[in-house]
Amino acid sequence: MLHNIDTENIEARGEAMAKAVTACVHCGFCLPACPTYQELGSEMDSPRGRILLMKSVLEGELQPDQAAEHIDRCLGCVACVTHCPSGVEYGDLISSYRDHMRQTGNRPWSLRDWLAGQTLPYRTRFRLAVTVGRLTRPLQRLVPKSLRPMLELVPDSLPEREELPEYTPAVGRRRGQVALLAGCAQQVIAPDINASAIRVLSRCGYDVVVPQGQGCCGALSWHTGNGPAAQRFASRLAKTIPSDIDCFVTTAAGCGSAIAEYSLLMEGHADKDAAARLAAKTKDISVFLAELDELPEIPALRRPLKFAYQDACHLAHAQGVRRPPRALLEAIPGLQIAELRDRDTCCGSAGTYNIEQPEIAKNLGRRKAEDIVATGASAVVTGNIGCLVQIEKHLNSLTDRVAVLHTVQVLDRAIREILN
């Protein structure tokens, strides 16, 4: 027997959890890379400590509530996976464990569940929640303390509701057809990202379809440990996206990484194969574009610019995507890319983390903003909506001279000669 975890008694993903805890040799190489270990300096808030805690709970040696505080502090950034020489699949473990705790009634309902499962994935509900939050903000002192961090994050305004075209034809020589993940929260907060993606993809010779009714990909639910809700979203998405496409393109790192985990998420589900087929066709937009043999002509900038690039954890650590976005930015004549001092550490966004763990999220956000300002860049570029929102919030308290942009927005503006 490889381990003491009774996988027979764990309804789903027991083997994945057992494999991860068994692979850990407790070497500690992952500790310096872990943002919560950097912040708190406590073993139980490190990857190694959390693996031990989860193992002890799964083996029945520890009560779930004795581990909960430390498990809840995990950002799910998976920087530990990048730095683990033993190949411990910590990402598979943490999401599966959180879901298992919930299924077994060991994880009480929280604000995070309401946001991730009932609000953010639904555009109308999310808009309504933002309106209510904005109206409530002046009365913050009357609101329970636990809800105040959420009010601080409510944007002052939202762009007009924008429906994406269901079909956009290729411009020039046609190379094929792609489908685009419209997403949920991103389409409310920053619809310009998908609009830029459609323009760039069609300029690259691809028909772009955005099937109606696709909904959320399930990332928010899966990464906060609500497997059944995430499975419902994944099922619907797999049935909505046509199969005769060259690629299913995502513009949010968190969504792309969740889709890459569909085989694990959908274990034992009737739609597992359909979801796995969709996952096999899915690429982040930076990867899809960087793999093309030719990009549209990009005119030289009128004056040189320096932009910093921030790796989104769910691109760099979860999907191993570091080079493609940089290659796209380097293809813009006159654009210099600045690297951050600490490019490996999470900005503290991590889905709904900045609401549940506001102190740690604030420290990480401030560190990231200071790093960006220190580069002297006039903009910071990244590939995930959560990071864009978090970084903008913390940059705003330091400067109003640094713009925050998605990689595909930069490329789109450079092609259209409106970057400077």
Tell me how far, at minimum, the Cβ of 25 lies from ligand SF4, in Å: 5
Amino acid at 318: A
Q: Select from 5, 17, 21, 30 the one that contacts ligand SF4 (CB under 6 A).
A: 30
Site string for ligand SF4, 101-120 (x = CB under 6 A): --------------------
Half-sphere exposure for 319 (CA within 13 Å, toward CB): 30
| CA-based torsion, 47, 367, 389, 138: positive or negative | positive
Tell me how far, at minimum, the Cβ of 93 lies from ligand SF4, in Å: 9
What is the helix (H) or strand (E) element at residue 219, kind and residue range? Answer: helix 219-223
Report 350-369 residues binding ligand SF4 (CB under 6 A): none
* Cα separation, 92 vs 90, whole angstroms: 5
For the record, the structure tokens of 115 come out as 């946001």
Is 28 one of the binding residues for ligand SF4 (CB under 6 A)? yes
Half-sphere exposure for 135 (CA within 13 Å, toward CB): 5
For the record, the structure tokens of 406 come out as 């998605």
Tell me how far, at minimum, the Cβ of 367 lies from ligand SF4, in Å: 14
Which part of the chain contacts ligand SF4 (CB under 6 A), choosing from 43-51, 136-144, 394-402, 410-418? 43-51
Is 86 one of the binding residues for ligand SF4 (CB under 6 A)? yes
Assess contact for 311 and 349: CB atoms under 8 A.
no
Assess contact for 43 and 96: CB atoms under 8 A.
no
- How many residues bind ligand SF4 (CB under 6 A)? The answer is 26
Assess contact for 280 and 261: CB atoms under 8 A.
no
Q: Select from 16, 18, 19, 48 the one that contacts ligand SF4 (CB under 6 A).
A: 48
Is 97 one of the binding residues for ligand SF4 (CB under 6 A)? no
Tell me how far, at minimum, the Cβ of 38 lies from ligand SF4, in Å: 9
Nearer to ligand SF4, 332 or 364 (CB): 364
Cβ-based neighbour number of residue 303 at 10 Å: 7
Q: What share of the chain is helix, strand, coil (3-state, %, to 5)?
A: 55, 10, 40
Q: Select from 10, 53, 57, 78 the one that contacts ligand SF4 (CB under 6 A).
A: 78
> Tokens 């549209």 correspond to what residue?
296
Is 130 one of the binding residues for ligand SF4 (CB under 6 A)? no
Q: Select from 10, 12, 24, 410 the one that contacts ligand SF4 (CB under 6 A).
A: 24
Q: Report DSSP state, residue 46.
A: S
Assess contact for 305 and 336: CB atoms under 8 A.
yes
Site string for ligand SF4, 314-353 (x = CB under 6 A): ----------------------------------------
Q: Select from 50, 283, 314, 326 the one that contacts ligand SF4 (CB under 6 A).
A: 50
Is 25 one of the binding residues for ligand SF4 (CB under 6 A)? yes
Tell me how far, at minimum, the Cβ of 226 lies from ligand SF4, in Å: 18
Smallest CA-to-CA distance from 199 within 180, 227, 218 is with 180
Helix (H, G, I), strand (E, B) or coil at 54: helix
Tell me how far, at minimum, the Cβ of 333 lies from ligand SF4, in Å: 37
Q: Select from 5, 52, 67, 80 the one that contacts ligand SF4 (CB under 6 A).
A: 80
Is 75 one of the binding residues for ligand SF4 (CB under 6 A)? yes
Helices (H), 104-147: 111-113, 123-136
Contacts with ligand SF4 by CB under 6 A lie at 24-30, 33-36, 47-48, 50-51, 74-80, 84, 86, 88, 90
